[in-house]
Amino acid sequence: MHISLETLIAMYERNNLFLKRHLNAFNHSGNLASAFDGGPNAHWILGHLIKSRTDFLLEWRAPAVWSAEECRPFAAGEGPSGPDTPVTWEKLLEVWDRTHQCFMEALSSFTPERLQEEVRPGKNWTMMLEFFSWHEGYHIGQLALLKRGKGPVA
């Protein structure tokens, strides 16, 4: 698979643009609502996206805003954030902005050779980054459904 660095950068910038459009519809209390049987809420989705980008930053040994421990409540399978969550919506928004900046700076430093570097059996950085751009798009779509009051798909 060959996707240029410029294309990967554009994919992640586009995800940030669409994410920010949807985030404006939520506030601290409204982002904890979940539409279907305990599915994800906006608070958990944003935290999960921060976690996903932080995982890359930590693996790249690049500066990260949060530690792996701070990201743990937003791991897959952890369930939606509840009313007792210690992380406010405003804090999540701030951490997202800073994480996006760190991620884009780290990604921009990649060389074509590093993009082809194998990081998992049969997977290089290009493949991992392409998949996780799709993963972000999936969760951005969940936010769009939540925003419209239809609830996320599982």
The whole-number pLDDT of residue 70 equals 94
Q: Which residues contact 144 (CB under 8 A, 6 or more apart)?
A: 22
**Cβ(34)–Cβ(151) under 8 Å?**
yes
In-domain check, residue 117: yes
Q: Are strands 123-124 and 118-120 parallel, antiparallel or unpaired?
A: antiparallel
The C-alpha atoms of residue 39 and residue 98 are separated, in whole angstroms, by 27
Length of the chain: 154
- DSSP state for residue 124 in the 8-state scheme: E
Q: How many domains does the chain have?
A: 1
pLDDT, averaged per 10 consecutive residues of the chain (154 residues), comes to 92 97 73 65 92 96 95 85 80 96 98 94 96 96 81 46
- The pLDDT score that the predictor gives to residue 154 is 42
Give the three-state DSSP class for 102. helix
Query: Does any domain span residue 152?
Result: no
pLDDT at position 40: 83
In a domain, 85, yes or no: yes
Q: Does residue 154 form part of some domain?
A: no
Distance of alpha carbon 151 from alpha carbon 43, whole angstroms? 14
The answer to whether position 126 is within a domain reads yes
| The predicted structure's pLDDT at residue 87 | 87
**Does the residue 153 lie in any domain?**
no
Residue 90 falls within a domain, yes or no?
A: yes
Whether 109 is covered by a domain: the verdict is: yes
Q: Domain residues for 90?
A: 5-147
* Nearest residue to 66 (alpha-carbon basis) of 77, 79, 80, 52: 52
CATH of the domain at 117: 1.20.120.450
